[in-house]
Chains A and B, each alone.
Chain A
Amino acid sequence: MPASSDLTLLDASLEREIFRSYIQRTDKVVVILTPTLKIRTANNYGRSILGLEENFKSGIDFIATYVPSSLAPEVVADYETLLNQAGTTPVKNEFQLQLQNAVSNDYSWQHFAVRDNSGEVSAILSVGEDVSQERQTEAVLKRRDATLEAFSRAAHHFLLAVPEYWEENVLEVLELVGKARGSDRVYLCKNTPLENGDTGLYLRYEWKATGERFNFLPDGQIKTYPAAGLTRWAEKLSAQEALWEEIAALPSGEKQWNIAPQAKSLVVVPVFVGNDWWGYFGFEDWEEVYPYALPELEALKAVAAAFGAAIKRKRIEEELSSEKLGVEKKIEERTQELKLAQQEIKEGLLRIRQEKARLTASIHSLSLGFLLTELNGQVVLYNHAVNDILGESPEGWSLEILTGRLGDNLDLKKTLALCLKNRREMVVEDVTYQDKFLRFLFTPIKMIEDDGRVIGAVILIEDATQAKMLQKSRDEFFAVASHELRTPLTAIKGNSLMILKLFSQSITDPQVTEMLQDILDSSERLIAIVNENLDVSRLEMDKINPVMEPFDLLQTIHQVMEELKGSAASKNLAWEFTPPSDNSTMVLADTGRTKQILVNLLGNALKYTQSGGIKVLIDHQPGKVLVKVSDSGEGIPTEDQTHLFEKFKMAGDRIYQRSDSESTGMGLYISRLLAQAMGGSVYLESSAAGQGSTFVLALNQAA
């Protein structure tokens, strides 16, 4: 022991008292362990945290009792390091205490070895500091950063949004923010004024973490806030306040509308356009209740504000570009606002310039041939793939050189001129070049801020040889397979029929007759299906050439209606045709194929109508004669309408379920192909639940 230290002036017991006092007062957990890691004692704070009685019996195994088993090996290793090293360096680590019936916080630990005179470790001092608060703050700041990062990208999206891509951009933003925030569902509800002066609302945009995106229109889904059980929300949101809600704690009325059943908590943030309350953003969490920290909430509010500003800008732009606003005064009012908006766009354009460098690199890595032309047809940029597809060109590429290469197979200049003039995409398929099939896509380049002025075009050249070969061999395989199926089917049908007709005296059991009849019916059905498939593949291969001739549609309609009259009568359905007063029903089409389409449309109408009736009427559009077939059936649900004309419908689809087993469900697909082969079209004009459907066949009027 050093003899002349200041410390020696202190009484040893007083010294211990000072330490004891400090240890008792600190807000750290202090535990003293034996070298075998049993608890010898702890300070008061430590005792309360660890749940130890005032006079607890020492000897509790610290590791087994308080260290989570997953971390125990590491903590034990740290203690061993401490025991085995010489000197006084503490060992640091971090672990949660495993507590009974209490929330376990994060503790940052320092462990000190206390050695006796001989240098042996006589005790271990473990001091733990609760760092949960800091860790949480760190996490919150990280999350806010992520949200803000998403927000800046979202703002970028809004900045560049042109009205025609507006909806995609909004959905893009929902996804960006949703992913950054880790939400399971993000949506925008929009307010809409009702006739009686109330505020209505409906779900406008929705994104789910599962990847689904929805873009809803208001039809039939508008509710008032009270009807949605959201009166309290309306008060807060209209006062520019955001709300955080734990779903389990919501008054029952507010669980009624638009909250996902699996949601555990949510935040709603109001959107304001100027001083007008537009609606609100919703952010749902499904896994567990997510406690938002203030900085995160602020970030979401910033997203909502940016969205409001973007809507405002969009409105101004739309107003300015709409013709009805010719009033100069109004323009003056708006000019200032627009200037600000334009400033934003300029900043966006700066970013675009940076993007351009990246874009150029991407263009060169394309396997598609890419050519960029000016309005006058001068080629300003092309990529290496053009050489790969058309062969090297030492003097580079111009329209003249391209035309020279392609010869008569493609009138490049004319197509490009059409594309620029009509301001729309043009596709030219099956351009033969040497032994290749090429596909050309012409796209006009429109300026976003200049009224969509066209400044040039992009020509893409795709080597479609392989795809075409594959498609062709697939179609041919299908045709041959269908054909090959017919031969055995013919034998099944013919033999079962002959047994029934010629050998019925050898059948003694009537059940056998019944079974044979089933075999016969089934083979006939299969043959019908194969024939339909064959029809489709021939149509798809353009092997069916309609015989185009002028004829009177009136007669064909009468004919088909006469043929199907019996089925209508047997279902007690009205069966009406209103011929037009003038004789403007001459069309240029294939009579037989037109009849086939009408049989399909009227047959479907009959099939799906149980009461009421079917009406046929003639209408006109310039150069077209329209046959409209309306039924009073149950209508086609909106979600199924897009699949109506598809070749194969999804199983489980309602359309599929309601189509009876005798049809292959390809009728509409075939009808559309046939109509298109004749230069006409077949489409669904209208359909609403409970109001029936109207299908239209449009054919070219005979000159």
Chain B
Amino acid sequence: VKHTYLCALVILLLPALARSQTREAPQGDGIRVEIVQPYNLWYFPTVLPAGYHVSDVARAYVEPPGLDKHGTFKWEVVGSKGFGALGLVPSGERGLVQTVTKTDDKYVNIYTKGYSDAEGDVTLRLTYTPPGASFPARMDEKTLTVRTVRLVIESDEQYIPGAGGSWECRRGMKATDQFGINAIPTAIDINEFFAGWKSLYSGENWQAPAPWPLADAIEWCDRVNPGASSTIPLPVHRSGSGDSTPVDEAQQTWRYGSMTVGSGDAFLDGEVNWRRNRGYAEHTN
């Protein structure tokens, strides 16, 4: 069997040897291995927004051609975050593992299970052992960053004059990756959910906060407006008497991956609080 493998290997190596006369000669035995993995990977706890990949098939590219059908392919997830962010899907088994070894099969399924703490903290390592005993194993590594979604306050409070001279507030928000700087590549559905709504003014009848979904968002602004001109209490002019008297407040959780209020995954840093005073509304964190 060993001799059969060696013969096959010699035949496979012939074209490469012929090419080596006109190109820069490959080092040593001319066998080279490289990891091919096309997609940028994302981690979402429960949702799967369109246009994002949470799994992929990595494969080994082996030179000379044809050799990739033979040999042992050992795949590992290493790096400071490593297996905390990325796992391998073993054939015929459940769950993700850190190491998979395959014979005569250059493919491996990868699946995200967390997100990176630092760029490039996940490494996919392939150790390829060519068939037969004559050639040493060789290795390739690919550095990866598994991304997830963070809510970033893009602009500080912006006030717009509203009813009764009071000010509504708007705050620019943006979906980024976990590093808070890089914008997400594809728009996602988002929604806001309110909890802990609290009335702070006896007898007030300001319209209770109503959560809104938004389709295909990357950037948006969150608008909070005080009561209308016929409500109790009446809104007052900003900087007028009683303008900072609180009327109500709520906690807001921003989620992505769903247009259903309260569904989807919560953004990192997705908790925002706001309060409405008689003269102005404000985000309080």
Do A and B truly interact?
no
